[in-house]
Amino acid sequence: MSEHVHTKVRNGTGFITLDRPKALNSLTLEMLRALAGTLQRWRDDEAIAAVVLRSATDKALCAGGDIRFLHAAGSATPRSGSALLEDFFTEEYALNHLVHCFPKPYVALMDGVVMGGGMGISQCGPQSGVRIVTHRTRMAMPEVNIGMFPDVGGSYFLSRVPGRLGMYLALTASAIGAADALYCGLADHYLPEAELPLLADLIGSTSGAGLREAVGLFARPSREDAGPSELAQHRELIDLHFGQDSVAAIERSLRRDDHPFAQRALAAMRQRSPMMMRVTFEMLQRGATLGIADCLRMERGLVRRTFEHGDVIEGVRALAIDKDQAPRWNPASLEEVTDEMVARFFEPVWPAWAHPLRDLK
């Protein structure tokens, strides 16, 4: 068990608490293994009727994967050959699948920062999941900002939000709050901060079998308190611009619109990896027609290609290592990214029978 993952059982409910506050609960391989091992045991334990995922700090549920580790492992020679890197993503995606398909009520308290890998352990399946946001929630899939793509199942859940909101979130890497998360369908309920202790009391006193319904009834009356959704306000504009048939066409469409929201989106995209925006666009197109297991298998191959390419190493260097905020993307512009370059990312890395996630159902 990881020192950063604590578990306990009360009244038929299993509690998982992430406790790595200085790193905003960024996930290490050790933490992934602790989470997966716990959920596998509780899935098959008749004494456990429900699970709650929470944090020991109100600053974040989980800020994502440990990008410093990814940079170090990905910089090994050869880049794609680091055993730890391979293990990290294979085991993370298997965990994401376990969460999505968990057969018992799974309550994710998405208080504070919830980004990247934090989304992967929170976006539980619609039949069993309850995702709660607060006024402190800052949610994002920021991967294109570091030369990556929205993984951990992003090809599945972002491609299924209404209209073109998922494409907007993926290409701009924009962070959203509670109201927008609810509007996108990436959260189920809102609670103001003052009611979190009451929710804790409710969870602690409710039998696991009735937890999902009890939490839903408790949170539903406060949903409107999340406030107005900026994405709802600009939905028509988002669908217009991000409904174009290519990333280049999206940028052209945004350039023609002097609305401040459109210009902010354009400015954000100009900071992102051109290659990974193209890959992300193609990935979401494909993900819309695939189930969760096939989406994760696709993403697993994309990870290998992404580290072979190297923009993720450069992006993490610029953001978290040297902190110069000046990544040198390769290629440097959308115009230089060819269809052949993008297609290379989607070429199979393994035959189907040897895929590391071949057993996902």
The residues assigned a catalytic role are 65, 117, 143, 151
Contact 219, 190 (CB under 8 A): yes
Contact 118, 62 (CB under 8 A): yes
Q: Cα–Cα distances in Å, from 270 out to 137, 164, 330? A: 26, 19, 14
Q: Measured between alpha carbons, how far is 215 from 199 in angstroms, rounded to an integer?
A: 8
Q: Measured between alpha carbons, how far is 114 from 14 in angstroms, rounded to an integer?
A: 21
- Does the CA dihedral 270-275-278-282 come out positive or negative? negative
Q: Cα–Cα distances in Å, from 249 out to 147, 241, 246, 279? A: 21, 8, 5, 15
Residue 183 one-letter amino acid: Y
Buried b (16+ CB within 10 A) or exposed e, 249-258: ebbebbeeee
Packing angle, helices 67-74 and 83-100, rounded to 10: 140
Q: Measured between alpha carbons, how far is 155 from 288 in angstroms, rounded to an integer?
A: 7
| Local structure of 35: helix, strand or coil | helix
**Rg (the chain; Cα; Å):** 20
Contact 310, 330 (CB under 8 A): yes
Q: Measured between alpha carbons, how far is 187 from 177 in angstroms, rounded to an integer?
A: 10
Residue 257 one-letter amino acid: D
Token pair of 72 as six digits: 């170090």
- Residue 146, strand partner residues: none
Q: Measured between alpha carbons, how far is 19 from 2 in angstroms, rounded to an integer?
A: 10
Residue 335 one-letter amino acid: E
- Residue 113, strand partner residues: 60, 138
What are the backbone dihedrals phi and psi of residue 132, each rounded to the nearest 5 degrees, phi first?
Answer: -110, 130
